[in-house]
């Protein structure tokens, strides 16, 4: 009997070969950006599986969901990389990744690593009244902002939620005039000044390039 193509014989018997493949366990909100980076850079050794983007509405569920995904897939890969920042888990996700022996993206959330963690840390000291959107959140503004806050049913609540904000910053991963126009309309809906910053992929690209 011949061993399968993806296996190799060792002194102990049949064992899987080291293929160099890495699994990215990512937030669904980052799927398009990761696939674009994979395609642009030819990172064919990286595979992607995504957890539901709406876990961001329930950050207390993120850590266990990542644990389950790592347990399910890690035997099939040489390495696993978690494409989440802390994302409201209060350090629990980092502790879980340390315990499991897997790495994750550095930073408090995607707004930070898209901007660049060092840059965002400096800017956030004077941007307490800023509301951030990424490409994904502009596309899914109603699903992830308007409806969860009940503003589709009770628009009068807008000032209660956003009365202390002054501006909306759109962190653009792509140079898309249609998305920019939609982001500006999002700012108008919330009664906020609009600012667009082209961040590209920021520290996300740096982290994946390191793999």
Task: Express each pLDDT in 71-93 by its tens digit.
Answer: 999 999 999 999 999 999 999 99
Confidence of residue 11 (pLDDT cuts 50, 70, 90): very low
Is pLDDT above 80 for 163?
Answer: yes
pLDDT of 13: 38
Cβ neighbors of 153 (< 8 A, separation 6 or more) are none
pLDDT reading at 14 higher than 70: no
Average pLDDT of the segment spanning 15-21: 63
Check pLDDT > 70 for residue 1: no
Question: What's the 3-state SS for the chain?
Answer: CCCCCCEEEECCEEEECCCCCEEEEEEHHHHHHHHHHHHHHCCCCEEEEEECHHHHHCHHHHHHHHHHHHHHHHHHCCEEEEECCCCCCCCHHHHHHHHHCCEECCCCCHHHHHHCHHHHHHHHCCCCCEEEEEHHHHHCHHHHHHCCCCCCCCHHHHHHHHCCCCEEEEEECCCCHHHHHHHHHHHHHHCCEEEEEECCCHHHHHHHHCC
Q: What is the mean pLDDT of residues 119-141?
A: 95
pLDDT of 193: 98
Interval 1-9 mean pLDDT: 36
**Predicted pLDDT at 18:** 52
Q: What is the pTM of this model?
A: 0.88
**Average pLDDT estimate for 141-149:** 96
Model confidence band, residue 128 (pLDDT cutoffs 50, 70, 90): very high
Q: Domains in the chain, please, with CATH?
A: 7-105 (3.40.50), 116-198 (no CATH)
Tell me the pLDDT tens digit for each residue of 39-58.
999 999 999 999 999 999 99
Contact 187, 194 (CB under 8 A): yes
pLDDT for residue 6: 39
Q: What is the pLDDT of residue 19?
A: 74
């Amino acid at each position: 009997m011949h061993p399968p193509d993806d296996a190799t014989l060792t002194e102990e018997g049949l064992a899987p070969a080291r293929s160099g493949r890495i699994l990215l366990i990512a937030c669904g909100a980052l799927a398009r950006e990761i696939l674009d980076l994979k395609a642009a850079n030819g990172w064919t050794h990286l595979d992607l599986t995504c957890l539901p983007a709406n876990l961001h509405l329930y950050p207390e569920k993120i850590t266990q969901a990542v644990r389950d995904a790592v347990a399910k897939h890690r035997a099939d890969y040489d390495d696993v990389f978690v494409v989440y920042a802390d994302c409201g888990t209060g350090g629990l996700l980092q502790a879980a990744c340390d315990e499991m022996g897997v790495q994750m993206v550095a930073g408090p959330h995607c707004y930070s690593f898209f901007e660049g963690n060092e840059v965002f840390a400096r800017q956030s000291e004077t941007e307490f009244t800023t509301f951030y959107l990424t490409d994904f959140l502009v596309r899914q503004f109603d699903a992830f902002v308007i409806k969860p806050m009940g503003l589709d049913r009770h628009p009068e609540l807008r000032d209660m939620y956003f009365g202390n904000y002054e501006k909306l910053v759109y962190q653009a991963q792509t140079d898309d005039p249609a998305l920019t126009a939609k982001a500006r309309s999002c700012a108008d809906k919330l009664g906020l000044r609009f600012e667009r910053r082209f961040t590209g992929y920021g520290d996300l690209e740096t982290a994946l390039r390191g793999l």
